[in-house]
């Protein structure tokens, strides 16, 4: 049967589907619904049970199921239908939605992240439906919205209690299996001052920008300390100040200043403890200078995650990779944050990240995926399904 996978999972079919998906723009402003509707008719034509799940107005998820002959293990494939925006279109060498293939690479927004993976997953499911006489359990495909922004799509999946015994998230995994990833905390920090004419300014003035500078220096110290902490799968945590906004005009003493911070977290870190520690550090500065009042306002929290190497899904993906590419894959952790943490931490579904391509290709100008990666990962997905659903 494994040899059938190699002969029957064909490049043309995967690239054709991936191209159709790329041709439908679906960044956060629009298009997720159109991708879901395209997939809905495609998956129905394959004979799958399909439904759209409304998450926000005009922004659905798509859920498709393939039910086996008898009760058995269930496995979920998770992929996001949204992409990041194209950015400055003039920087692209081609139309990002034309989905052209050149030098065995499929170009376009979402090719790597991650419409290519969605196509690979679906063709693997099709292989099982059409070529495996008897299998048990269930395959669930969840195509989710808003992964690139809030994770609301996968959130809705777990809230509605759509369950599986295990899941694979198809983000580009750099030829590895990722069983962990970092989390993301976005928050804003504001300082205050006393608005006065700048001609009154002296070193004792209460200037929100100067006050912020002192907090920034403290955050820079924290950044150095974080570099000394190490998780063997995902590396060290980090803190980045990405945006600053303060004051009104040169000739006015600034009465407010705000920075936006991105703190990347480790699976063993707790977000409320991180915030408590930060508040204590910054409060310490205020005890030396009472002008250093601040407000901390949380924007987004997406958790980090880690599953044990002994989990069945880790072993299934590892064995499948061994069979298809004849190589023992590296099992590691991803630096970026994905929907895996929602499936594991909130949905209680042991999951891994395995998908075609390389994360460095995601979110770039002239994004592409090598066609051979799409074929390889589709074969790996099919092998995972075959082994999980026919050996139980």
Binding site for Zn ion (CB under 5 A): 113-114, 171
Is residue 52 within 8 Å of residue 145, measured between CB atoms?
A: no
Nearer to Zn ion, 116 or 246 (CB): 116
Q: Measured from the CB of residue 348, what is the shortest distance to Zn ion in angstroms?
A: 22
In the complex, residue closest to Zn ion by CB: 113
Let me know: does 65 contact 49? Beta carbons within 8 Å.
Answer: yes
182 and 239 in contact (C-beta within 8 Å)?
no
Tokens encoding 312:
């069945």
Closer CB to Zn ion, residue 87 or residue 247? 87
Rounded Cα distance, 82 and 367, in Å: 15
Nearest-approach distance from CB 143 to Zn ion, in angstroms: 12
Q: How far is the CB of 18 from Zn ion (least distance, A)?
A: 14
Work out whether strand 183-192 and strand 294-302 pair parallel, antiparallel, or are unpaired.
antiparallel
- Tokens describing residue 352: 């891994």
What DSSP element (H or E) covers 13?
helix 11-22
Nearer to Zn ion, 32 or 255 (CB): 32
Contact 120, 374 (CB under 8 A): yes
**Residue 364 phi/psi, 5° resolution?**
-110, 170
Angle subtended by helix axes 371-390 and 312-325, to nearest 10: 130
Nearer to Zn ion, 113 or 383 (CB): 113
Task: For strands 136-144 and 101-102, give the pairing.
Answer: unpaired
With contact defined as beta carbons under 8 Å apart, do 120 and 14 qualify? yes
Q: How many CB atoms lie within 10 A of CB 190?
A: 19
Closer by beta carbon to Zn ion, 189 or else 369? 369
Nearer to Zn ion, 171 or 370 (CB): 171
| Residue 218, token pair as written in the block | 């403290």
- Pick 32 or 113: Cβ nearer Zn ion: 113
Q: How near is the Cβ of 179 to Zn ion at its closest, in Å?
A: 17
């Amino acid at each position: 049967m494994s040899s059938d996978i190699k002969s029957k999972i064909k490049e043309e079919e995967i690239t054709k589907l991936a191209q159709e998906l790329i041709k439908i723009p679906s960044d956060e402003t629009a298009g997720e619904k159109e991708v879901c509707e395209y997939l809905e008719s495609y998956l129905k034509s394959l004979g799958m049970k399909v439904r759209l799940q409304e998450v926000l107005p005009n922004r659905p998820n798509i859920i498709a199921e393939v039910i086996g002959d008898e009760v058995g293990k269930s496995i979920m494939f998770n992929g996001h239908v949204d992409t990041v925006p194209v950015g400055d279109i003039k920087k692209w060498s081609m139309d990002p939605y034309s989905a052209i293939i050149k030098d065995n690479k499929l170009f376009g927004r979402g090719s790597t992240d991650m419409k290519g993976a969605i196509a690979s997953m679906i063709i693997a499911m099709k292989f099982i439906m059409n070529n495996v006489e008897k299998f048990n359990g269930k395959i669930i495909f969840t195509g989710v919205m808003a992964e690139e922004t809030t994770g609301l799509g996968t959130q809705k999946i777990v809230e509605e209690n759509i369950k599986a015994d295990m899941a694979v998230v198809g983000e580009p995994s750099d030829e590895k299996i990722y069983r962990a990833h970092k989390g993301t905390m976005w928050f804003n920090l504001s300082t205050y001052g006393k608005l006065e004419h700048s001609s009154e300014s002296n070193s004792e003035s209460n200037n929100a920008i100067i006050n912020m500078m002192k907090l920034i220096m403290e955050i820079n110290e924290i950044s150095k300390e974080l570099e000394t902490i190490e998780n063997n799968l995902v590396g060290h945590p980090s803190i980045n100040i990405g945006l600053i906004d303060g004051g009104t005009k040169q000739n006015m003493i600034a009465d407010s200043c705000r920075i936006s911070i991105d703190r990347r977290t480790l699976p063993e870190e707790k977000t409320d403890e991180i915030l408590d520690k930060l508040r204590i550090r910054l409060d310490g500065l205020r005890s030396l200078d009472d002008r250093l009042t601040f407000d901390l306002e949380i924007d987004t929290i997406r958790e980090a995650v880690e599953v044990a190497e002994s989990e069945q899904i880790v072993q299934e993906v590892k064995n499948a990779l061994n069979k298809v590419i004849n190589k023992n894959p590296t099992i590691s952790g991803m630096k970026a944050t994905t929907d895996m943490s929602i499936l594991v931490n909130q949905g209680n579904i042991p999951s891994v990240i395995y998908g075609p391509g390389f994360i460095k290709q995601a979110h770039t100008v002239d994004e592409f995926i090598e066609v051979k990666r799409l074929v390889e990962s589709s074969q790996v997905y099919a092998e995972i399904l075959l082994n999980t659903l026919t050996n139980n």
